[in-house]
Structure 1
Amino acid sequence: MNSSPPPYPPARTVDAFEDVAGVRVPDPYRWLEPETDEVQRWQRRQAELATSIAYDGQDPAAVRKLIETYDAGSRPALPRFAAGRWFRAVNTPGAAAPSVVVADRPFGAGRPVVDLTAFGDGQNPAFLSWLAPSPNGRVLALGVCTDGSEHNTVRLIDVDSGRVLDGAPRQVLHSAWAGGVSWLPDSSGFFFLALTGSPHEFRQAVYRHRIATRDSAGSTVVEPIPVGEGSQEYTLLQFSADGRWVVASHRVGSPVPVAVRDLSRPAAPWRPFVTDCAGTVAGHIVGDRYIAVTDVAAPRGRVVALPLDAADPNDPASWTELVPEGETVLRSLSPVGDHLYLSEFDRTCARVRILDRSGAVTGEVPLPGQGALSAPFFALTGLAVGSPPDDFVFAFSTPTSSWGVYRHRPGEADIETLSAPAVTLDADVTFERAVALDGVEIPYHVVRPAGSDPTQPAPTLISAYGAANVPLLPQYQPEMAAFVAAGGVLVQAHLRGGGEFGRDWYLAAHRERKHVRDRDLIAVAEHLIATGLTTPGRLALTGGSDGGLMCGVALTTRPELWCAVLPMAPLLDLIGGTRDPYLDFVIRKAWADPDDPAEVRRLLRLSPYQLVGPGVFPAVYLQAGATDPRCPPWHARKFAARLQAAQEGDAPILLHVFDNAGHGAATSYEVATAQDAEWLAFLIRTLGLGRQEASG
């Protein structure tokens, strides 16, 4: 490390304050929020400094090669089924954007339907956010993003000719979290959730779009679904196969079927369904029932059936229990032909049981190891399944074996490998536990290079999240695999607030108990040190989004524990976030009520930007995306400036905001590779791993 801090671009302070519910909070770097020319110049100089220090003494091409080698095992986009055919995106080496092919088998060679290169904006390649073929297989709907932000627009393609159809809706979708579009069973149109104004305003509505025909023009109108006055939550529509029923599932993290409509009665309006439920009821329409995984009266989950014509669907006593709560955590259902495949977690590892349409368990899928199934980040997105296939096609990986794709046919004993894992990491995996302050055991996985000496303290990276009911699973992650291949030890910590162990685990670190997640992290770090796996001088921490906030709290409250901290696409200013419509929605849901002074003062104790004070801090590498709509780059800018000014030690505080990058879900391969390579270079340098030496 350098003997003195690097020469940072100067950052002035201003006499600015934020008043939230009467609580006056200084905001000395407010000027770094708007995208002015001054801010852009400062940001570019910060990026140049970060790159030069991260790669100091290393060959950037060699680090990139390491990332590319392990990125070969990245999670594939599973093909979508319709009318006996399979649609999937194909990334051709050297191509600026993927193409979509259609085949009669999930990974058959097939034929091209459309090349997304045509949808680029002239400067940036097109990114495929989602794809959804119509039930009759004749029209393909695509979500296209060109700036990494996740904001995408619908394109419609004639499958037979590859022609781009006129009349696609013009509304902008905020993300792919609501699954893109939900086709009507007769393929005459679809529903989709989109913004009603500018992305910054974050107001969404469900629209109904009718496809133009020879006899009628297309149309796009708002669908009046009763989701509750003022709700900003996400909504996804689900149809029965026979076209009679449609259900509106609402809430991205803990969805419930909030409304139902009987389409066999054209004049029948939407009827409120499950409207009084704090838990999750997430499933699919089967006949005249909604069969779902719920955590109501079952923290680890159970499977229930709700009659779609129930007089009081809010009363759990009217639900029929099909699979009772057990020792595993029930997570989701997938319709497959006449069956439902039930995904579960057994000590975070995947298990899949098979149910018939009555809900009886008829078998179990023989998975290829102890690992994880591919699944969307949020439960609501997982409900967007389109036309149910006759076979269960799934992606699976372990921390040391990259993603493969497999097929299970109902009634068969074995699975078929459709696409074998491309990468095997030479490492060992163990499952350990730390004990939190309140006596609760906090599990974590350790991924250690094979042949390394377990008695010697190792350069170690903790990766954690612990929020939003989202599980951190024992799955393959390319950038983490590259870190282990470089000689590091990876620790995946399963903190409270996540979804790995059911509803009680999630709520234990939610809203007013958010601090529990931070204490769990410290318990894991201290346990790693106490057991001799590592030392503070060899311990790093990373996390993204809400996990980036976790990193910010950890480095400002316990700086002595870490050698390096790497917040990614981070949320760092909870007070300033209340001025952003999207973040205000998130903060109210997951942290506190910003209209309550006591709650605002509690937010102050959780907000890293406000926690910064003079001190000796570890090395920090902040990475953000210039077009991130969830955690805008000003969070990282303001935090970096304040931390650089407060640093009394020698370790560098680095910031790199990447252009044409968002929150990660729509970032192009080239930009994502550059991000991962610089992140890894910083870790190699800071932890003293096997350097990728400069050539020449």
Structure 2
Amino acid sequence: MNVTPPPYPPARTVEVFEDVAGVRVPDPYRWLESETDEVRRWQRRQAELAGAVSYDGQDPAAVRKLIETYDRGSRPALPRYAAGRWFRTVTPPGGAAPTVVVADRPFGAGRPVVDLATFGSGRNPAFLSWLAPAPNGRVLALGVCTDGSEHNTIRLIEVDSGRVLDGAPRQVLHSAWAGGVSWLPDSSGFYFLALTGPPREFRQAVFRHRLASPSRGGSGAGSTAVEPIPVGEGSREYTLVQLSPDGRWAVASHRVGSPVPVAVRDLSRPGTTWRPFVTECGGTIAGHVVGDHYVAVTDVAAPRGRVVALPLDAADPNDPAGWTELVPEGETVLRSLSPVGEHLYLSEFDQTFARVRILDRSGATTGEVPLPGRGALAAPFFALTGLAVGAPPDDFVFAFSTLTSSWGVYRHRPGEAGIETLAAPAVTLDAEVAVGRAVAPDGVAVPYHVVRPAGSDPARPAPTLISAYGAANVPLLPQYQPDVAAFVAAGGVLVQAYLRGGGEFGRDWYLAAHRERKHVRDTDLVAVAEHLVATGLTSADRLALTGGSDGGLMCGVAVTTRPELWCAVLPRAPLLDLLGGTRDPYLDFVIRKAWADPDDPAQVRRLLGLSPYQLVRPGVFPAVYLQAGATDPRCPPWHARKFAARLQAAQEGAEPILLHVFDNAGHGAATSPEVAVEQDAEWLAFLIRTLGLGGQGAFRDGRRAGG
């Protein structure tokens, strides 16, 4: 859709250079990294322009209503179990603050424990990052964030009275990626991972907190101290302490994406300290303490995964010869284990679709959970977070969805043939799902799913959105996503592409686009896009791309290296300046792990070929809509600001380059539902306008007119 480019807020340039390991490149928009009044004024004007252009010719209320309709199917937070009771959040109608309730059943009516409004103030409502009841069910620990940043602090609540207890730790948790807190089995205290200084410095340590008086519910000052776990000198990785139900063993799992049990401690022997456990492993060993063994899914010597048992008192735990194999590698990709009573529930991917096998403690398969369709189980973004399970429940309670049906919650009782529906899916998308494959330049087939509105003509090029990620060993799954469901409901076709670098097909698939091979993710994406055009599913003037975080960087590479391939590109919460990111302690940690060593000039020069901000050259670009959060601690908004300014100056075509940085929004995990709806609605409005969904003015009168 060709239009006259809008008048952008002026963005001056400065004579500044980025110098990383002696590699020197211009950084003309460095001033946009600062949070000054000038930058904030410029940012507000950009947001006003983005809203005006995105909603031009449309009824904002109608687009918002479409988002809210499909947002009813958003993934629920699963209840947490302790002492025969279930804890969960309930959001009252009318936008009131959520309340934590406790019930005898996973979704029973129960009774209120605490209202989150207690912890909010004015424009900063409280967001619940995580909750963890003590094993005895008498004290509830909460992680509360009030600015959308994911930075949260611990609150302790007496369950019977709802009283907020004094003496909670004052340390700030960088995120919920380490699961919040890990309670000691006797409920006397807990371990947690938190920052040791200002968030900007990104230095974390494991702390141990002891309640002042467990017999009285933990009232009083309590005590908090750093726990001396040997995780390696200078490591910035995340660490989660796991405890055996009997209180004997503590295991420290280290690394957020590919965790390994790096240290172990025998708590039954007074005076013992932490000792190194698995310290020489490049793969993943993610599991739980079962008796005197650590039973885990590992990709060591098994790219698709196997289940092994490591003796916790092993003389040489680094030697796989001392591990006992319980489940060998097969055709599916093994992903995680969940302790349930005396069983282990093994989650796996069969061509991206979920399966759940039931094992006894010896590893023998005793059955399979009859899932309600071909789709995905709810799971944390990173493998380490999935290890924070708390007290093992007697039943397997899980959330499940498909590409066309929203999240339901179900229960399987070991030994029973069927499952019980605890919360039925709220939304069913009137759409059809198909499977496709594109061939990458190196001959590898890259799979994707197509979600098409029912009754649409498959022979006619359709307005199409590719959604992809392909990074960090994180699987993109065939699950319900409210924003893209609303896009399909508006008449668009979704293509969910499973690019190398992700965790959908095992370790080899992940490593094929990691560090020195990171560019493979980008060639996979182009192969999918070109295949969709060549087969007639869409055309370049009807093809859009979106992705978030590392997927936002993917979008930035796509728009700067293959601009002619896209009608629109929509990076969300993006990382866009890899060289500048090395000055940020958190991003320096991420870049060193996933991209390159910024102390090596040769590797820095390779980074230049992957960094969208440095890739911008004058040219004709498609329509671009950049969305970021003002309090994002992972991909700070200056990435989007600098990239937008540079791309606006370089645009020689007619399409708009838009930027909206939302206040009180972070990387997404702690953004309030109200702000998230605003973000999704404007994102969708931009797609409707740019791709011409439903015809010009389809949403002008408050309803969708065809498409």
Q: Deviations over 1:513-561 (max 9, x none)?
A: 0000000000000000000000000000000000000000000000000
- 1:442 match: 446
One-letter amino acid matched to 2:353: C
The answer to whether structure 1 residue 232 and structure 2 residue 230 are counterparts is: no
Q: 1:597 offset after TM fit, Å?
A: 0.2
- 1:113 match: 113
SS of the aligned residue for 1:402 comes to: coil
The answer to whether structure 1 residue 338 and structure 2 residue 342 are counterparts is: yes
Q: Measure the CA separation in 1 of the matches of 2:698 and 2:149.
A: 32
The answer to whether structure 1 residue 492 and structure 2 residue 496 are counterparts is: yes
One-letter amino acid matched to 1:177: W
RMSD (CA atoms): 0.9
Q: Is the 8 A contact 2:166 2:221 kept in 1?
A: no
Q: 1:96 offset after TM fit, Å?
A: 3.7
Q: Is the 8 A contact 1:96 1:125 kept in 2?
A: no
- 1:586 match: 590
- 1:694 match: 700
Q: Measure the CA separation in 2 of the matches of 1:372 and 1:232.
A: 31
Q: Measure the CA separation in 1 of the matches of 2:441 and 2:97.
A: 49
- 2:69 match: 69
- 2:705 match: none
The answer to whether structure 1 residue 382 and structure 2 residue 386 are counterparts is: yes
Q: Is the 8 A contact 2:477 2:504 kept in 1?
A: yes
- 1:506 match: 510
One-letter amino acid matched to 1:622: L
- 1:549 match: 553
Stretches of structure 2 that go unaligned for 5 or more consecutive residues are: 703-707
SS of the aligned residue for 2:307 comes to: strand
Q: Measure the CA separation in 1 of the matches of 2:227 and 2:286.
A: 22
Q: 1:121 offset after TM fit, Å?
A: 2.7
- 1:478 match: 482
Q: Measure the CA separation in 2 of the matches of 1:362 and 1:694.
A: 56
Q: Measure the CA separation in 2 of the matches of 1:374 and 1:266.
A: 40
The answer to whether structure 1 residue 28 and structure 2 residue 34 are counterparts is: no
Q: Which moved more, 1:9-18 or 1:213-222?
A: 213-222
Q: Measure the CA separation in 1 of the matches of 2:459 and 2:642.
A: 41
Q: Deviations over 1:21-72 (max 9, x none)?
A: 0010110000000000000000000000000000001000000000000000
Q: Deviations over 1:158-217 (max 9, x none)?
A: 000000000000000000000000000000000000000000000000000011116984
- 1:104 match: 104
Q: Measure the CA separation in 2 of the matches of 1:157 and 1:432.
A: 50
Q: Measure the CA separation in 1 of the matches of 2:220 and 2:545.
A: 58
- 1:196 match: 196
| Identity percentage of aligned residues | 87
Q: Deviations over 1:309-328 (max 9, x none)?
A: 00000001100000000000
One-letter amino acid matched to 2:568: A
Specify which of 284, 291, 296 is matched with residue 287 of structure 1.
291
Q: Measure the CA separation in 2 of the matches of 1:693 and 1:75.
A: 27
Q: Is the 8 A contact 1:462 1:493 kept in 2?
A: yes
Specify which of 259, 262, 268 is matched with residue 263 of structure 2.
259
Q: Deviations over 1:331-390 (max 9, x none)?
A: 000000000000000000000000001111111000000000000000000000000000
SS of the aligned residue for 1:67 comes to: helix
Q: Is the 8 A contact 2:357 2:369 kept in 1?
A: yes
Q: Measure the CA separation in 2 of the matches of 1:228 and 1:246.
A: 18
Q: 1:2 offset after TM fit, Å?
A: 5.1
Q: 1:599 offset after TM fit, Å?
A: 0.3
One-letter amino acid matched to 1:161: S
Matches within 5 A, 1:32-43: 32-43=32-43
- 2:140 match: 140
One-letter amino acid matched to 1:196: T
Q: Measure the CA separation in 2 of the matches of 1:692 and 1:61.
A: 13
- 1:131 match: 131
Q: 1:93 offset after TM fit, Å?
A: 1.7
- 1:614 match: 618
Matches within 5 A, 1:318-333: 318-333=322-337
One-letter amino acid matched to 2:168: A
Q: Is the 8 A contact 1:135 1:186 kept in 2?
A: yes
Q: Measure the CA separation in 2 of the matches of 1:412 and 1:474.
A: 27
Q: Is the 8 A contact 1:62 1:692 kept in 2?
A: no
- 1:459 match: 463
Q: Measure the CA separation in 2 of the matches of 1:281 and 1:363.
A: 24
Q: Measure the CA separation in 2 of the matches of 1:92 and 1:300.
A: 43
Specify which of 634, 648, 651 is matched with residue 652 of structure 2.
648
Q: Deviations over 1:629-667 (max 9, x none)?
A: 000000000000000000000000000000000000000
One-letter amino acid matched to 2:439: V
Q: Is the 8 A contact 2:378 2:398 kept in 1?
A: yes
TM-score, L = length of structure 2:
0.98
Q: Measure the CA separation in 2 of the matches of 1:453 and 1:2.
A: 25
Q: Is the 8 A contact 1:495 1:521 kept in 2?
A: yes
- 1:274 match: 278
SS of the aligned residue for 2:172 comes to: coil
TM-score, L = length of structure 1:
0.99
Q: Measure the CA separation in 2 of the matches of 1:138 and 1:238.
A: 20
Q: Is the 8 A contact 2:83 2:136 kept in 1?
A: yes
Q: Is the 8 A contact 1:63 1:692 kept in 2?
A: no
Q: Deviations over 1:256-308 (max 9, x none)?
A: 00000000012011010000000000000000000000000000000000000
One-letter amino acid matched to 1:370: R
Q: Deviations over 1:129-172 (max 9, x none)?
A: 00000000000000000000000000000000000000000000
Q: Measure the CA separation in 2 of the matches of 1:693 and 1:150.
A: 34
- 2:254 match: 250
Q: Measure the CA separation in 2 of the matches of 1:486 and 1:241.
A: 49
Q: Which moved more, 1:686-695 or 1:572-581?
A: 686-695
Q: Is the 8 A contact 2:545 2:570 kept in 1?
A: yes
Q: Measure the CA separation in 1 of the matches of 2:220 and 2:462.
A: 68
Q: Is the 8 A contact 1:55 1:678 kept in 2?
A: yes
- 1:677 match: 681
Q: Is the 8 A contact 2:167 2:220 kept in 1?
A: no
Q: Deviations over 1:575-632 (max 9, x none)?
A: 0000000000000000000000000000000000000000000000000000000000
- 1:533 match: 537
Q: Is the 8 A contact 2:286 2:387 kept in 1?
A: yes
- 1:627 match: 631
Q: Measure the CA separation in 2 of the matches of 1:500 and 1:318.
A: 29
One-letter amino acid matched to 1:28: P
Q: 1:692 offset after TM fit, Å?
A: 4.4
Q: Measure the CA separation in 1 of the matches of 2:618 and 2:107.
A: 56
Q: 1:393 offset after TM fit, Å?
A: 0.2
SS of the aligned residue for 2:240 comes to: strand
One-letter amino acid matched to 2:587: L
One-letter amino acid matched to 1:180: G
Q: Measure the CA separation in 1 of the matches of 2:698 and 2:119.
A: 37
